[in-house]
Amino acid sequence: MKKGIVLEVHDEDVTILTPEGEFLKSRKQKGHVDIGEEITFFPLHQTEKSRMKKVHSILISRWTMIVAAAIIILALSFYPRYVSNQVYAYISVDVNPSIELGVNKKMEVISMEAYNDEGRKIIEQLVEWKKQDISKVTTDLFDVIRQQGYFKENREVLIASLINNETKSSWKTEMQGKITALSETIKTENVNITTMESTLNKRTDALKEGLSPGKFIQKEKEQETVDSVDTSKREVIPTTQVKAKPSGVNIDAPKSEKTSEIVSKAGAEKALKAEQKEKKKDRKEARVNEKAKRKTERNEKKAERKMERNEKKEERKTERNEKKEERKTERNEKKEERKAERKEKKEERKAERKERRQDRKEDREHIINERKKDLKKKENEVRQNIKLEKELWHH
């Protein structure tokens, strides 16, 4: 058994190059075998003489270099496209419209997604945003938001940047600079701007919750604040020991006040927990409703796309049938033209043959007449000679 690289694949056998430079054939193995694949095999017979080994080794080394160069060229040609289509950061913008922008290494926007209906309407009004600089796209985005009057209804703007941990710090700094410049521009609208920074993992958690990354991070911070307040409330209240009860002094009053204070704090804590639970339930219902709404919209769009595909398919089928009929008509016309041409040529050949026959007939008649004249002339000469001989005889 030997090892080698597949060079040619035929119906029943394959040609294989061994590390020793031999070109051998082997029966085709079960399954799919690709050219360039290394396999183990039993050789059928040696296709080249041993004296050609050196030449083969040179050829295969050149072939290997050509393949390696081709692979490098392909990799270099596809790398810029890969880099330009890879998301390095997400920028989440929440006013009332909630929109997320995906940014590549060149700080160009390559994706834009809405988290609510208002966001979808805003995106529909943006044109030529793909592969444009993040500064230009965000400026255009806030121009549309301003024109729609959202800054008058809502004075709170939330901008969150979610950047890959593996991204270089210089790139992060430049991106934060762009976000800061954008924030300074929006401040002229007299709105409150909150900027936050996190990792891409937060985006995954936000998608699970059905929230935009910015609102999810803000909710986490609010929850952390509430938890810290709850922790401070749960701290043990320090007490002082009373050694003796002086006469005429009622020591039970402070105790009752302290007890009522603890009870009121416990009630407030319980009410706060109930309120948080209710809010959590409302958020969960809102997420479920939003998820169901998005699912319905996706199904509707899917049905529309399917209908469009079917319509286009029917149109293409009709066009193909029309073209087929046109080609058939053209073929029939050409067939008739060729038939008419053949008929004309046939008539011409027939007339030519008739003319040639007539010419040959005339030639034959002319030759016969000439021969008759010659015979008659010779006959006259013979008669003349006979006459002369007779005259000479009589004399």
pLDDT at 263 over 60: no
Q: Is 90 exceeded by the pLDDT of residue 328?
A: yes
Model pLDDT, residue 335: 93
Which of residues 153 and 25 earns the better pLDDT score?
25
Residue type, 80: P
pLDDT at 264: 59
Q: Given this model, what pLDDT does residue 110 score?
A: 93
Task: Tell me what pLDDT residue 229 has.
Answer: 57
* pLDDT above 90 for 293: no
Report residue 239's pLDDT band, with 50, 70 and 90 as the boundaries. Answer: very low
Give me the sheet containing 23-27, strands edge to edge.
23-27, 13-17, 2-9, 38-41
* Confidence class for position 183, pLDDT limits 50, 70, 90: confident
Higher pLDDT, 24 or 225: 24
326 — pLDDT class (breaks 50, 70, 90): very high
Query: Helical H runs in the chain?
Result: 53-85, 117-125, 134-147, 150-153, 169-186, 200-209, 213-233, 252-394
pLDDT band with cut points at 50, 70 and 90 for residue 340: very high
Query: Dihedral of the CA atoms 370, 375, 379, 382 (nearest 10)?
Result: 110
> pLDDT value at position 220?
84
Which pLDDT score is estimated for 275?
Answer: 80
For domain 2-83, say whether CATH 3.30.70 is its number: no
**How many residues in the chain?**
395
State mean pLDDT over 324-341: 93
The crossing angle, in degrees rounded to 10, of helices 134-147 and 169-186 is: 20
Residues 6 or more apart whose Cβ sits within 8 Å of residue 182: 135, 138, 139, 142, 159
Q: What backbone phi and psi angles, to 5 degrees, belong to 290?
A: -65, -40
At residue 109, the pLDDT reads 92
For 355-366, the DSSP string reads HHHHHHHHHHHH
What's the confidence (pLDDT) of residue 52?
54
- Which residues of the chain does CATH 2.30.30 include? 2-83
In this predicted structure, the answer to whether residue 257 has a pLDDT above a threshold of 70 is: no
pLDDT range class, residue 24, cuts 50, 70, 90:
confident
Cβ atoms 4, 39 nearer than 8 A: yes
- The mean pLDDT of 2-27, rounded to a whole number, is 83
Instruction: Give the pLDDT confidence score for residue 69 in this predicted structure.
Output: 66
> Stretch 120-139: mean pLDDT, rounded?
89
pLDDT confidence band for 339 (50 / 70 / 90): very high
Mean pLDDT value across the chain: 79
Query: What secondary structure does DSSP assign to 181-212, as a single string?
Result: HHHHHHGGG--EEEEEEE-HHHHHHHHHHTS-
The string of pLDDT tens digits covering residues 210-237 is 888 888 888 888 887 776 655 555 544 4
- Condensed to tens digits (0 to 9), the pLDDT of residues 186-200 reads 776 677 888 888 888
pLDDT value at 252 more than 60: no
Q: Taking residues 263-281, what's their average pLDDT?
A: 74
- For the stretch 148-179, pLDDT in tens is 888 776 678 889 988 877 777 888 888 888 88
pLDDT one-digit tens code per residue, 32-54: 777 888 888 788 754 444 445 55
Q: What is the pLDDT of residue 48?
A: 44
